[in-house]
Amino acid sequence: MSLKVPTRGFYFNTVLSLARSLAAHRQAPIDKVQKLQCMCPVDFRGIFQLDERRRDAVIALGIFLVESNLQHKDAIVPYLLGLLKGLPKVQWIEESSERKGRDTLPVAENFSFCLVTLLSDVAQCDETLRGQILEAVMDIMQVLQDICKNPEAHDKGTNRDLVLPLSAAIDHSSAK
């Protein structure tokens, strides 16, 4: 029995290459970084829509941030924190049904783990952001705990499946 390792597509490899090439600059041009950020989802009336490309762009933006030694953190960190706070109401869009299977994690779990891990890496690198990031993570954990305690009081679209990956990301980051 062999496990198929899912391969990332052309788009992911492209945005990741863009992020890494920008990170290699001593001072990455803000307009190029903004182009990468424009590929990420936007908050529309309190809801983010996350399809595969937008998820890939967020991960690439986070990788740029970490690998560039936090260049343009003043523009990127508030965006990532806003996305983190919006996780319970994200509209998850899955295009590829062939990727769904017993051998893969659900999209929401995978993405939220990556987002919190990236933010934890930022908190590790910058003491001035550490408190803000930890507070945002704890706030979202409290929101998710409230949703789990009283699910009927929340929208059906609210995602309770984020508790474990957020906890795992916190644990993963504290082990560094």
3-state helix, strand, coil in the chain (%, to 5): 65, 5, 30
- Which range of residues forms the domain containing residue 49? 10-174
Place of tokens 């690998």: 67
pLDDT score recorded for residue 34: 97
Is 3 contained in some domain?
Answer: no
Number of folded domains that form the chain: 1
Within 10 A of 119 (CB to CB), how many other CB atoms are there?
A: 26
Is 2 contained in some domain?
Answer: no
Is 4 contained in some domain?
Answer: no
pLDDT score recorded for residue 145: 80
Is 62 contained in some domain?
Answer: yes
pLDDT score recorded for residue 63: 98
Separation between Cα atoms, residue 64 and residue 66, nearest integer Å? 6
Is 101 contained in some domain?
Answer: yes
**Whole-structure pTM value:** 0.84
Look up residue 87 and give its two tokens.
Answer: 């996780």
Is 115 contained in some domain?
Answer: yes
Q: What is the pLDDT of residues 19-69, one digit of tens each?
A: 999 999 999 999 999 999 999 999 998 899 999 999 999 999 999 999 999
